[in-house]
Chains A and B, each alone.
Chain A
Amino acid sequence: MTDNVIDIEGLRCRYGAFEAVRGISLQVRRGELFALLGTNGAGKTTTIEVLEGLNKATSGTVEVLGLDPIRDRAALRPRTGVMLQKGGFSGSLTVLETVNLWRNLTAGPRPADEALEMVGLSDKAGVAVEQLSGGEGRRLELALAVLGRPELLFLDEPTTGMDPASRRRTWDVVRELLRDGTTVLLTTHYLEEAENLADRVAIMKAGEIVTVGTPEQVVRALPARITFHLPAGTPPELSHSTLRQDGDRVTYHSTDLQSDLTDLLAWANGNATTLTDLAARPASLEDVFMDIATTDEPAEASR
């Protein structure tokens, strides 16, 4: 029996007339990093806040480490770390004051200098929180989320607003935590982040999970793409592709990139046709995301 750290069945969350989460189910296994990917308004934050015990589910069951996030709060909180989507600390206190106060509200906390060192804020210890840059502020929030060496870490859009260097550094911190056995549930709208960090990904749209799997599984469901400009003439049918033409711009969605590309090039050679701006690439997570973000039809991937 797999050790499911998080178990959600049929979760629904309603705010008045608006249903933010419409019946999602997922499991997160111990030691993995599970990413919830989606645009704003998809329901990611609502979902993670139910797991954090900040929101009440309208219906469905939610289990975190086998416990109820609201009812069993006293037993659960010492084992989890939380990074909210934004805010959480008074601006007028300094970084070090904030860490020291929070250490007294944390079970088994790391030393303050270790926490600051981890996120690269050691030289900002005496700076007021409100004077930190956006990225530095997020790093402080990360330090406080991992202060108690939690078993399970909730990160809600952890690198939003960060410069690329801070982002990479945060990813390093998260990877190190994963190596130590921490389980991580992360929400993000950065595809690169999900691709880089996630063991498994669930893509959410309008309160539903539209596809779940490893990044590779999710991507495999989408075809590769061949694009070029064809000023004159009719493009050929390719055996593994569907064709779409917009004026002189031609796009093939192909399930066998190599075979179709070979046929296409042979055709172009035979007809002495120039394919301008020819590009061919396999599907990426971005395609899945854009595809889902712009269409209403769910894509199937192995679960």
Chain B
Amino acid sequence: MSTQTIPAGVPSLYAQMATMVRMELLLLRRNMTATMLSVVTPLVVGVLLVSGRGYDTESGVARMSGVIGMVAVFCVHHHLTTAYASRRQEMVLKRLRAGIPSDRTILIGAASATILVFLVQAALLVAYGVVVLDMPVPANPLTMLVAMLLGSAVLAAFGAALSAVTRSSEAAMLTTLPSMLVFLMAPGVLVPLGALPESVERIASFLPMGPFTEIMRTSWLGHEMGGGELLGFGGTTLHALPWLGALVVWLVIGAAVTTKYFRWEPRH
């Protein structure tokens, strides 16, 4: 029975996704305290972190890229772990699943709203950097956007997976502590490049935020850190490809873990 006609009047996939996004955004607005914590505070902290003086162009961009990574970890990964746990507790996930949206639509739809909010925050941070901190206009914003999409998708996938062992939104504080540390540990996020011993830094640079910040830095500056040759649009895209590939690998791992461990309702 593999081919059936879908009955008429079923909302399109786009309409379903749009509704999921709208639901999440509405909930963000409605739960102002949670929103302040998970959305606004990291942004403010980020702005504070970059606003010190004494950065040259390169280190400034590196710092800002790291800050955007940090904001992503809080606003996408931590927030989504909390959101999925909360929806699960209220049986919202279960009820959605008893309806028309597919499992994938439910998961991705909920994450999309959060990723959208993050992209706005990132855009604001980049604009702040360019306008206020005299950073250069990004050389390859397209690659940066792809990196942000893929990076936040990875964070979202691991957020979904982690929510499976997160009993409530309060518990998310505890359960995301180790994962956030791992994400933030990648060189170039909170820890500046070169601060860790080289062997450690090598390994840590494969953690998801490593490729992310690498693409952000190079595509923004238009050349690699340490003053490499000017790469231009094509060059930065080419440079980013293997790092984007690394992000895709992480996404596949995250999706696989989620598929295996995600819970749609609280334990009996």
> A residues within 8 Å of B by Cβ?
15, 52-54, 67-68, 71-75, 77-79, 82, 84, 86-93, 97, 101-102, 104-108
Contact = CB atoms under 8 A, between A and B. Distances in A.
Tell me if B's interface is mostly helix, strand, loop or mixed.
loop
A89 B92 contact: yes
- Which residue, of A52, A71, A107, has the highest number of chain B Cβ atoms within 10 A? A107
B10 A104 contact: no
A54 B264 contact: yes
B87 A105 contact: no
Given A78-B9, A84-B91, A87-B95, A72 B101 contact: no
Contacts, number: 95
Interface string B78-91: 00000000010011
A67 B11 contact: no
Contacts of A71: 1
Contacts of B101: 105
A90 B265 CA distance: 14
Contact of B95 (A53, A82, A93): A82
Nearest to A46: B268
Interface of B: 1, 4-11, 15-16, 18-19, 22-23, 26-27, 30-31, 87, 90-92, 94-102, 264-265, 268
A77 B101 CA distance: 9
Contacts of A15: 268
Given A53-B98, A105-B11, A91 B6 contact: no
Contacts of A107: 7-11, 100
Contacts of A97: 26
Nearest to A151: B7
B1 A68 contact: yes
B94 A84 contact: yes
B99 A105 contact: yes
Given A72-B4, A89-B95, A105 B27 contact: no
A174 to B, nearest CB: 18
A68 B265 CA distance: 21
Nearest to A74: B6
Q: Which of A74, A87, A104, A105 has the most CB of B within 10 A?
A: A105
Interface of A is mostly: loop
11 contacts: A54-B98, A72-B4, A73-B102, A75-B4, A75-B5, A84-B95, A88-B91, A89-B90, A90-B27, A104-B15, A105-B19
A106 to B, nearest CB: 7
Contact of A74 (B19, B87, B102): B102
Top 9 A-B residue pairs of the complex, sorted by shortest distance between their CB atoms? A88-B95, A87-B91, A75-B4, A108-B9, A82-B98, A104-B19, A92-B30, A107-B9, A107-B10
A93 B23 CA distance: 9
Contacts of B1: 67-68, 71-72
Contacts of B92: 87-90
Nearest to B16: A105
Contacts of B102: 73-74
B177 to A, nearest CB: 26
B100 A101 contact: no
Contacts of B96: 105
A207 to B, nearest CB: 14
Which one of A88, A89, A93 has the greatest number of beta carbons of chain B within 10 Å?
A88
B94 A54 contact: yes
**Most A-side CB within 10 Å, residue of B1, B10, B16, B102:** B10
Contacts of A86: 91
A204 B35 CA distance: 46
